[in-house]
Amino acid sequence: MQRSLSPPWLVKRFYNQGEFSEIKGILKRYNLRTVCAEALCPNMSECYSRGMFTLLILGTKCTRSCKFCFVKKEKPSLSFAEEIENISQVVKLLDLKYLVLTSVTRDDLADKGAGHFAEIIKTVKSLKPSLIIEALIPDFGGEETLIELVIKSGLDILAHNIETVPRLYPEIRPEAEYPLSLKVLKTAKKFGSLTKSGLILGLGEKEDEVLAVIAELAHREVDILTLGQYLKPGEENFAVQEFISPEKFEFYKNFAYTLGFRYVLAGPFVRSSYRAEEIIVEIKNNQKGGKMEVILPELGEGINQATVSYWYFEEGEQIEEGVDLVELATEKATFNLPSPTAGRLKKIYFNVGEVVRVGEVLAIIE
């Protein structure tokens, strides 16, 4: 049964009108859609005022029918080539530091849209290697080669939302599969990506079910978890079953941290990409979780990748801060990358002979 009155904590103020209108105008000029606008996100003015938004690529012709979604199923107004060009122009015009891409599910395409994700990421990274890119992807049918394609294109964070508890999937996400979404996140970690997932609460889930899902995400080594309140966007969408209190969100957040998540954002207005740029800064500064990522740094103008020549340590070995960790080679030089911290070399993501791009994670030290 839907509750007709919102609780007092569901009040959101409107942010800088000028910056909001400027971003909105630029996106309209280049015929680009955002999921922020399509889904009537309550954080839109706040995020736009900070130069943050989530671009909705691959058109709006979704092949699934999730009951919480408000994206209009219309034909795409841009060709894939035009979309790549327009996104590139917007990145340059706004001098973006962080970009989030997402899409509807495109089961009608042979590659489920993975190739278009990869082309956008490669193109934009070539223009601005320092740009951090997060991709909130559909499940791609669980095909590992498609997930790998997106990750190896130069992606910084792969997000895939679990959305709700498995009991509610048949009603809320009838064409999706809970185990398949878990597989996507496990596969992304296999290919060395920083991973992120989220749930929307208030759909009728029970506390023990939420805790169980959080535990399963932790088991798949998901790095970032977001938890937010479901708000019914339209008349045809699923009814809100419960308004989750801020105290309950805090309870879920604290529980998640005990399981080892590197960052947890939980609250009524939290959405998948909310404050994404701040989260990655905290993670890369090692402020949460006790882990340090070894990231390939900027290599100079025109150089955006290197080949792994030699690892000086093996997984599981203890290392000291500042010692040579890995030898890398570019077209112009061979150099050693030092360890940014002392600890145990937990995971190596790129083997000898493999190519790593600027901004990608080479290894994890804890």
pTM as predicted: 0.75
The pLDDT, as a whole number, for residue 74 is 61
The 10s digit of each residue's pLDDT in 19-73 is: 677 888 898 899 898 877 776 777 777 778 777 888 989 887 776 666 666 566 5
Spatial distance between the Cα atoms of 186 and 151, rounded to a whole number of angstroms: 13
Distance CA 182, CA 99 (A): 24
pLDDT tens-digit series, residues 98-117: 999 998 878 889 999 999 99
DSSP 150-166: HHTTT-SEEE---BS-G
E strand map for the chain: 33-34, 54-57, 98-103, 132-136, 157-159, 194-201, 224-229, 263-266, 292-295, 305-311, 318-319, 324-329, 334-338, 343-348, 355-357, 361-365
Q: Among 37-41, 160-164, 239-243, which range has the highest average pLDDT?
A: 160-164
Q: 321 versus 132: which is more confidently predicted?
A: 132
Write the pLDDT tens digit of every residue in 311-355.
999 988 889 888 889 999 998 889 999 888 888 898 898 999 999
Dist CA 52 CA 92 (whole Å):
14
- pLDDT at position 52: 84
- Is 322:340 a contact under the CB 8 Å cutoff? no
